[in-house]
Structure 1
Amino acid sequence: MLKDLDNKPHADLSPRREVKFWGGVIHSVVEEAYMDLEVFADLHQQSKGLLSLSAKYHGIISPGKDLPEEYLIAILTFAFEASLTVKAHLAKIKAYGPSSPPMRRLFARQPPNEYDPDEVETVLRPYVKMTTAEEDLIFLLDILGGDDEDLQFLGLQNTVDELDRLLQAESSARELVSAKMASIIADLSIVSQCLGQIGLFHPWGTANFRQVSNRNFGKVPHANLHLRGLWEKITQGLSRPALGDVEGLISLGMPTGKKFAYPVQKRRTKENTAIMRQAEDNLDAFWSSIDEHLHRKSGDLKGTAVGRLLSSSRVLERTPAWVEPAKGARDNPEVNPCVLVKPFSQSPFGLSGAGGQKALALTPKTKVKTRGTPKTSSGSPKASGDSPKDSSDSPNFLSDSLPPSNCPNPTAISAENLDDLNPGFSVDARASRVFRMLFFHPDMTSTPGEVPWTEFLHAMVSIGLEAEKLYGSGWKFTPTNPGVGSWILFHEPHPHKKLAFTVARQYGRRLRRAYKWTGKTFTLKKKSG
């Protein structure tokens, strides 16, 4: 949190108010996580509906006539939701920008207001030195997070386009933007582009839509009434007073005492394994408390993206107990080749088959398919890796062989149709190094490092994914082979263009959910001659 102009820390950072401070942080993190999922899932569904209506009325629409009412209301509803999303992201830029670590040297808080001690007002520090690019960045962020009149005069899309150009061209400006801010800007860019496309829908562009929207104002909120009711169920359950009333919840989420320390980047030892297992238990306890509280306050959340996610068959991987290596073992003996899985949410959101943890094997097959066009089984996903439906009803995507005898409580895994489920790719050494970082390998003994973004792009393109740069830090990867699945979106690391090991593993898990790929899907090409 920013210091004030007198260089004094905020009062909430004092030991006596530590719980209040972390309560605010936890509330913001949790509410944003839930609501961002809900908002973008709804915009995605609405955009798919617009595509269907566009095809439905393709031969009927005429520039000299009004749009069909069904199509018109759908466009206005989408624009209404997108505009609210833009406002929410502009508020985030205003709140998070000055206090983000790279920008803290430039900003300070005004001294506390005696009438409202919780009010926070940030200002630029006097006489602070900035480069021209840094000044331009602060100016654009000030426009986005400031007066609506200035933003209307310059235009949202024009401002976002210029911000994107600046961040691509000037390293000094790019280094002032944290990864969190880059993600917010990327989301804002996508939504602003959607609104820009609506404005270009001639001859029913922005000006005409405003007039039509005023005439149909009552119909648009009515179309959103059901959605608003669903959102209110979530926001009420996750409000700051509601979370603050939950006994022990804030203390479960406070990162004190290194309770969430997770040395996954270090060589696996008995001590590091114990630390990781304890961190996973602490994290599970926190989210279980959140889910149970949300269920008590909001019910089953039917009809919401959050409800669908929490009741899905997606699972969490957890670190198994340490297995002492056999004497004389050489082949990376400290790694237990098993992995524990548990339900994504253990709260009563309608999840079928929720039970205890199971141990599954991640040992490689003796035979790997390395040639041919990737195929997709009947159970392959049709959506990107972010969809709750991407995880299969079967746990086959976690393993394609029976667990070894040293797995506690081994569970037999069917090996049927595994060649179809996990199509093989033969890749060069450069791409192989990337995939060994993205996916778990029991025989990997070296200490994990970082993955340069250029290497990640090369690896993805080498297996038939078309890479497209979007606004901000967003990149879209689309399979070029039919039947593999839909596109998937990843964020380029910011400001330094290298994926940390933990982020690389997150990307690997998303690729597995989207396309059923595992570490053994990729094999090294044999050198010719």
Structure 2
Amino acid sequence: MAAAKSFTYALLEELGEEHHLGCKCCRFNKGIDLPVPRKLSIQETTQCARELSTSIFKHWTQLNAIIKRFEGIIQKRWTKKGFKQRRELLVKAWPKISTTHRPDFENFRNSKKQASRSRTCHSEAYLWPYINLEDLQQKLPLLLFLNSRARNLPETFRLADLRAAHLGEGWIPDLDFGDIILCNKRDKEAFYKYNGVDLQCMLFQKKCSPAGYGKVVDRTVTRIAGSQLKYLARSTEGLLALEIQEGIYRFLHNCVNLVLHDIPPSMFFLAPHQPEPVTPSDLKPNEWPSLSNYALEAPYRVPQKLSLDRLKTLVSARRSMAEDACWMLREDPAYFMDNLREWNEHSGQKFKPAHCSCVACWNRIAGRMTTQAFVSLVCWGDIHDKLQAMPPIEVQIKRANEHRLRLSHGDEDRWSALYEVITNLREYSMLFLANGLPMSPRLRHRYQWTGSDEHGEWQMSSGSSEAERRVDQLFNSMKRPDLHGLHGVVQEFQYMLETDSEASHLIDHWVLEQFSDVALLSELTQSIDGLAPWFDVNKAAMLQSVISVETQVKEVRDLTIDLMDGITSVCKASELLWNPLKKQEFDYPVDKRHSKANVDQMIKAEQNLDMFWWSLEVALTDHSGIDLNEILEEQTSPPRELYRTPPYKEPIQLPTPQATPQKPLVEIDPNIQRSSEKSTLSPQSFQATPTKEKVKTRGKPAAPDPRRQPPPAEANNVATPPIEKVTISKRAFKIFQALLPSAKEVVQQRCEIAWDELLWAMDVVGLEPEKLYGSVWIFKPLPKDQQGPGKVKLDRSIQFHEPKEVRRGAKIARPMVRTFGARLRHAFGWTDADEVFECE
């Protein structure tokens, strides 16, 4: 196979047993194990390219013919095979196949198992990380792999195959050769040598011919036309793409030959064509779509182009979550204190105890929490606005420069400005994650601060478990994404959360929330590469210094800097006229019985919270001239107002009914016989009697909750049209009653609900759940043509964080149930469940 002769890379294992470079985990952290380009002459490069391209089209032609005739048979036979049979077949097709998912990250998973310092991952693990037994043993991946590769030309996957490989230093992105205009050959050679570029490049212009697919040309002699730039690559990258594709098509061809072992080879070209079968679904009955499954199947499918609609949906839901977080911090004392305690748990100082009890430390922590909330609101709002103003992809490609293979200047500026805001927010989120994870309650005993007061870093102490070491290595790789790629590390982190229970237990809810933001920003960055070859993140990084891009980013960048500096300075300089150590002043018994004492305590807690925000806003306005109220109103849509608990009112005392002596029934109605007399009564003799209303005779009746009372009627008594209710099952109605209690009922303690029940109920009403990275779930509305009877007509999505405790069987706690209900009210205008839904 092609993997036996490494044309385009060199491996550490070639250095011998005594290399003195440390263990394999340390080598992987430094990038020493990753493939690097091998120096080849023009003759060697040309010969290798010719051999590889010929082998590619030989296997692709046979694979294409087989799939067009026998794909349905292959699907049936592969589905009926067990895991052991699939494993044996895959090993026969590729004897050195890797065993685990993403084997290029295997050194992160078994850091303690250092049997030999000379051993490292095989070359197959780096160049073909998606060809492994753990993934391909499943039902769907191999079928998707065969369908996409056999029914599409190899050129369709060239760039995707290069990006999927895990490469080391020495691989640089493609250059825009159309912009290089030099006078003579000597000047060109000097320019390319100065910039570290090879004198050869490779063309992939002829998609159906092995002679023109991977043709080596000398760029100092050959004039590269504008139409050829789309198919141009460095010679080392081009040769690497050929080697990867040759191994893929050889492997898939061997697989179909083993599955169709009883069919004569002559029938592969003589049998009649069959219609393309439908690919079976791999989702289980109680399983929801997830972004991790999508990422798992992506290397086996046709590369997807950038989808603006999907990006808008993800960003819109995240912006709405940031808006709700800011409002609830200002409105709800219980939500404010819960978040403050979480930030206190993850904001211990380097040279002080983790839980300092002074007011200054609490103010500093409150400043960090407030800064993160408002910076997220501003940045996600700006990303949302930029995506909404982005023209459709078809329009951008239509007005692009085909000769230079570039988008128009206006479109390039829009994408570059968007990329800079994403990059800045990602670095800001990583800063909180870098400071919060070592101080998390489950890991802080393993970390120690090394270095000086200001210049140092957190390091894990010796004696850590394998799970703790794995979390630390992935965390450090996420802080330095240039080596292994942020998107690959994010996927490996998510894989750890789903498969390693011990390591997943070390990550608490606060860290998961920060990781979810980093993962979503990584997904946005990865999606920009879907515009290649017209635009990618490398071009976006080069255009950030352009004046037209600076003008689009300057306002939001200056505002975020002012917010960070202003809030930090204000919280350090003043005490903000509050003291969170007096817990009784911030107790918010919203879920307890509606009594005078509880209502007075709620009003007092709200007043203390208002005092905190008032003092912060006054000090921030004097210091930086920033008005938080103005920022919040500009980012809020539709407008909303703070709710404050009205004063307690004594319940109306109903009169006690007087007891009246009752006469015997015989005297009232002579038709009724005594019990001793036997008589047969016909059904017509019974008449329906009105039921009596049960009246409370002891104690005072509980007062209705004024927060759940319907709004007072307007003066003009304008009749509002009735809302068309949606009929749902009794099981789903109970879930929404817990989220949105009825205003007609007396206040009761909210009940806890199971997370699976929430997912099912949201799907019933037309909000399809999908698992994103970390703890985030997005609930997307169905397309308008599918919003029929039994579904609520919606036009926006919403995101919820899954509580970590529910993974161990616990239910959603009452405070979070109340938070979810408040967000549903604002997002969709649902006041209570009785007004929107009705039970079957």
8 Å CA contact retained: 1:431, 1:459: yes
- Structure 1: unaligned runs, 5 residues or longer: 340-360, 364-398, 403-410
8 Å CA contact retained: 1:12, 1:21: no
Q: Deviations over 1:190-249 (max 9, x none)?
A: 1111110112322135475168537x64443343223333334433432x2233334x41
* Structure 1 residue 521 corresponds to structure 2 residue 835: yes
* Structure 1 residue 324 corresponds to structure 2 residue 653: no
* Structure 1 residue 252 corresponds to structure 2 residue 578: yes
AA matched with 1:195: T
Partner of 1:32: 372
Partner of 1:204: 534
Question: Aligned-pair distance for 1:141?
Answer: 1.5
Partner of 1:509: 822
Question: Aligned-pair distance for 1:261?
Answer: 1.6
CA spacing shift, 1:315–1:223, aligned 2, 3 Å: closer
Which of 37, 59, 62 is matched with 2:398 structurally?
Answer: 59
Question: Aligned-pair distance for 1:499?
Answer: 2.5
Which of 490, 494, 509 is matched with 1:179 structurally?
Answer: 509
Which of 275, 287, 307 is matched with 2:613 structurally?
Answer: 287
CA spacing shift, 1:488–1:126, aligned 2, 3 Å: same
8 Å CA contact retained: 2:516, 2:774: yes
Counterpart secondary structure, 1:289 = helix
The within-5 A match list for 1:148-187 is 148=480, 151-187=481-517
Partner of 1:486: 796
8 Å CA contact retained: 1:12, 1:20: no
8 Å CA contact retained: 1:76, 1:220: yes
Partner of 1:454: 756
Question: Aligned-pair distance for 1:301?
Answer: 5.3
AA matched with 2:462: P
Question: Aligned-pair distance for 1:185?
Answer: 1.1
Question: Aligned-pair distance for 1:85?
Answer: 1.4
Partner of 1:416: 719
The within-5 A match list for 1:6-155 is 10=352, 18-50=358-390, 52=391, 54=393, 56-61=395-400, 64=403, 65-109=405-449, 116=453, 121-128=457-464, 130=465, 132-145=466-479, 148=480, 151-155=481-485
The within-5 A match list for 1:215-364 is 217-238=546-567, 240-246=568-574, 248-249=575-576, 251-252=577-578, 254-299=580-625, 305-309=631-635, 313-327=639-653, 330=696, 333-339=701-707, 362-363=709-710
For normalisation by structure 1, the TM-score amounts to: 0.73
Q: Report the Cα distance in structure 2 between the residues aligned to 1:468 and 1:311, rounded to whole angstroms.
A: 25
Q: Report the Cα distance in structure 2 between the residues aligned to 1:297 and 1:53, rounded to whole angstroms.
A: 42
Counterpart secondary structure, 1:85 = helix
Q: Deviations over 1:297-327 (max 9, x none)?
A: 4447599853514897411222233333344
Q: Report the Cα distance in structure 2 between the residues aligned to 1:184 and 1:109, rounded to whole angstroms.
A: 22
8 Å CA contact retained: 1:253, 1:286: no
CA spacing shift, 1:316–1:143, aligned 2, 3 Å: same
8 Å CA contact retained: 1:427, 1:525: yes
8 Å CA contact retained: 1:425, 1:521: no
8 Å CA contact retained: 1:237, 1:293: no
Question: Aligned-pair distance for 1:455?
Answer: 1.1
8 Å CA contact retained: 2:449, 2:457: yes
* Structure 1 residue 430 corresponds to structure 2 residue 760: no
Counterpart secondary structure, 1:173 = helix
CA spacing shift, 1:121–1:206, aligned 2, 3 Å: same
8 Å CA contact retained: 2:606, 2:644: yes
8 Å CA contact retained: 2:779, 2:798: yes
Question: Aligned-pair distance for 1:521?
Answer: 2.5
AA matched with 1:439: L
Question: Aligned-pair distance for 1:74?
Answer: 0.9
- Which is worse superposed, 60-69 or 308-317? 308-317
Q: Report the Cα distance in structure 2 between the residues aligned to 1:518 and 1:461, rounded to whole angstroms.
A: 20
Which has the larger share of helix?
2
Counterpart secondary structure, 2:459 = strand
Counterpart secondary structure, 1:433 = helix
8 Å CA contact retained: 1:322, 1:336: no
CA spacing shift, 1:54–1:200, aligned 2, 3 Å: closer
8 Å CA contact retained: 1:41, 1:305: no
Q: Report the Cα distance in structure 2 between the residues aligned to 1:467 and 1:59, rounded to whole angstroms.
A: 35
Aligned residues: 438
Q: Report the Cα distance in structure 1 between the residues aligned to 2:345 and 2:634, rounded to whole angstroms.
A: 38
Q: Report the Cα distance in structure 2 between the residues aligned to 1:311 and 1:431, rounded to whole angstroms.
A: 29
- Structure 2: unaligned runs, 5 residues or longer: 1-343, 655-694, 785-792
AA matched with 1:362: Q
Q: Deviations over 1:430-466 (max 9, x none)?
A: 2222212212335256532322211111111111112
Q: Report the Cα distance in structure 1 between the residues aligned to 2:630 and 2:608, rounded to whole angstroms.
A: 27
8 Å CA contact retained: 2:407, 2:535: no
Q: Report the Cα distance in structure 2 between the residues aligned to 1:313 and 1:206, rounded to whole angstroms.
A: 37
Q: Report the Cα distance in structure 2 between the residues aligned to 1:164 and 1:290, rounded to whole angstroms.
A: 38
Question: Aligned-pair distance for 1:418?
Answer: 4.4
Q: Report the Cα distance in structure 1 between the residues aligned to 2:345 and 2:604, rounded to whole angstroms.
A: 32
AA matched with 1:142: N
AA matched with 2:613: W
Question: Aligned-pair distance for 1:55?
Answer: 5.0
CA spacing shift, 1:120–1:449, aligned 2, 3 Å: farther
Counterpart secondary structure, 2:383 = helix
Q: Deviations over 1:29-48 (max 9, x none)?
A: 11111111011111111122
8 Å CA contact retained: 1:473, 1:493: yes
CA spacing shift, 1:262–1:205, aligned 2, 3 Å: same
8 Å CA contact retained: 2:378, 2:635: no
Q: Report the Cα distance in structure 1 between the residues aligned to 2:583 and 2:455, rounded to whole angstroms.
A: 30
Q: Report the Cα distance in structure 1 between the residues aligned to 2:447 and 2:478, rounded to whole angstroms.
A: 17
Counterpart secondary structure, 1:204 = coil
Which of 740, 761, 771 is matched with 1:439 structurally?
Answer: 740
Partner of 1:393: none
- The structure with more radius of gyration: 2
Counterpart secondary structure, 2:806 = coil
Q: Report the Cα distance in structure 2 between the residues aligned to 1:218 and 1:303, rounded to whole angstroms.
A: 31
Q: Deviations over 1:16-71 (max 9, x none)?
A: xx133122211111111111101111111112222x26354342236543210000
Q: Report the Cα distance in structure 1 between the residues aligned to 2:393 and 2:470, rounded to whole angstroms.
A: 40
Partner of 1:379: none
Q: Deviations over 1:142-177 (max 9, x none)?
A: 2223xx3xx212100011111112212333333222
CA spacing shift, 1:303–1:75, aligned 2, 3 Å: farther
Q: Deviations over 1:359-407 (max 9, x none)?
A: xx624xxxxxxxxxxxxxxxxxxxxxxxxxxxxxxxxxxx4x64xxxxx
Partner of 2:111: none
8 Å CA contact retained: 1:320, 1:336: no
